[in-house]
Structure 1
Amino acid sequence: MTTHISLFPPKELYYMEHTPKGVSIKTTMIPKRQRRKVIYDNMHLMEGMTFTATHSFPQMLPYNDSTDFELVSFSDRKKHTGKNEALIFFLDDYRFRNQLWCDLERTTFSISHYDYFFTPDFSLWRDLPTEYYNQQNTFRTRFVGLFWQLRGFKAIPTFSFGGLQSFSYCLEGLPSNSVIAVCGLSNRKDAQAYNIWCYALRRLEAEKHPTLILVYGPEIEIPDLHTPVKFLKDFISKRFRHG
């Protein structure tokens, strides 16, 4: 078995293999009648991906690079250079869902100058009558993250969860022994939200053994957690501090 060795880093190959609008050159060569079937729900972007056995979520790769960067919200992406900056998606889904999932190739190309990405934080809800939508959003979060990683971008996996029933799948597709990010903006709503949030981080620690947990939000005590935690100042707190 021979191993293919590329002469170019993955990110350089990404630029070489895509049009100025971010569309894969391979895709443009497919006849238009067939193209609709091939690109449905981003199926044409699965090349090189591996999937988990239980729910067939894309299996992300570990991230253990720098965490010393400035944060930029996706909503403010056009105002920054991207140099030593990480693009984050801890926002209401409507602010990024269509651009990232429905137009992933074009959007990726437009933000490719950023040095770091957090994977999109598609929402998982508590107390839904079905877990279908939460599972779909978990799939999409892993898919976008792995798509970026395979193309040479520094993508940090994010962990989201819904109610207790979501723990049968919400950790699936996250890498082990990796930096993992989680949003900490909702853990102060009430005692139940705080308890579930702490439980989620302990489950993350037990199952994925993260090297570092990045929490986007104010510092808060997390009982019985042994993994190093780095709190990232959220934009809401910054506005209040300078207001």
Structure 2
Amino acid sequence: MTLSPQSMRAGWRDVFHARLLSGAQYASSHELPWVEPSTMVPKRLIPYSQAKHTDDFNQWVCFYEDDHKFIADVWRNPSRALQIVRRFEGAISPDFSMYRDMPLILQEYAVFMNRATEYYWQKNGVQVIPNVRWGDQRTHEIACAGIPRCSTIAIGSYGALRDRSNRQYLLAGVSYVAKTLQPEKVIVYGGTPPAMVESFTSVGAQIVRIATAAENAHKKAA
């Protein structure tokens, strides 16, 4: 399924960002765009809010920070975000928040925004690693939709391990993602508890842990 030429007619005001998906093929009943597999492994990450103010482009952009620091560019002004991320070696796709007390449709919409942005960046020449994010168990399937199996994915665990309930939801999703996507490599931003390691290594995945911004700031201060 692709967007029709009629829907892309001249002069049409694209308030729903349909042009981001021009030429896309869709996965699952939710019709999320398929994205290209990645085998890349970043050596360094920089949050988007800092990426806008640096000339050190020998690193990857990530979005493991509060949504308000990137959503105005990434979703409301996508061409601006594209111009920023394409300067760098690559990007991990946006980590839009998915709170479990959100209505399900909003949790699903967060996944859609992630996948649509990733497809748009890849189409414009950016190296992108899919960030896999889920809320409660109802979002496990959609969180994996459109992501190729046996490739590199990224997961943000930072801030999700302190609370027992959050940890349980995180690890339940990890188990599903590992079995469904069987990734070759998993970039983890945050802690890697033993249950997470076991889930991924049991399917042959290599875990690559990247230091968080807080850890880097602490090291710099020390």
- TM alignment of 1:86-105, pairs within 5 A: 86-105=60-79
The equivalent residue for 1:47 is 22
Q: Hey, what's the Cα distance between the residues in 1 that align with 2:62 and 2:182?
A: 23
Match of 2:100 among 126, 138, 141: 126
Q: Hey, what's the Cα distance between the residues in 2 that align with 1:223 and 1:116?
A: 25
Closer, same or farther in 2 for the Cα pair 1:137/1:84, shift >3 Å?
same
Query: How far did 1:223 drift?
Result: 5.5
The equivalent residue for 2:217 is 239
Q: Hey, what's the Cα distance between the residues in 2 that align with 1:110 and 1:159?
A: 22
Query: How far did 1:165 drift?
Result: 2.1
The equivalent residue for 2:91 is 117
Structure 1 unaligned residues grouped into runs of 5+: 1-26
The equivalent residue for 1:191 is 164
Letter in 2 for 1:233: A
Match of 1:177 among 128, 150, 162: 150
The equivalent residue for 1:23 is none
Q: Which moved more, 1:196-205 or 1:130-139?
A: 196-205
Match of 1:164 among 131, 137, 154: 137
User: Number of paired residues?
Assistant: 209
Q: CA RMSD in A?
A: 1.9
Structure 2 unaligned residues grouped into runs of 5+: 1-7
State, as a whole percentage, how many aligned pairs show the same letter.
19
Letter in 1 for 2:170: W
Closer, same or farther in 2 for the Cα pair 1:173/1:192, shift >3 Å?
same
Closer, same or farther in 2 for the Cα pair 1:147/1:82, shift >3 Å?
farther
Pairing 1:137–2:110 present: yes
TM-score, with normalisation over the residues of structure 1? 0.79
Query: How far did 1:159 drift?
Result: 0.5
Q: Hey, what's the Cα distance between the residues in 1 that align with 2:141 and 2:129?
A: 22
- TM alignment of 1:149-160, pairs within 5 A: 149-160=122-133
Name which one, 1 or 2, has greater alpha-carbon Rg: 1
TM-score, with normalisation over the residues of structure 2? 0.86
The equivalent residue for 1:201 is 174
Closer, same or farther in 2 for the Cα pair 1:47/1:160, shift >3 Å?
same
Letter in 2 for 1:102: R
Pairing 1:69–2:47 present: no
Query: How far did 1:219 drift?
Result: 4.0
**Cα-to-partner distance string for 1:160-205 (whole Å, 9 max, x where unaligned):** 0111222242221222111100101123222222222122122111
Query: How far did 1:215 drift?
Result: 0.5
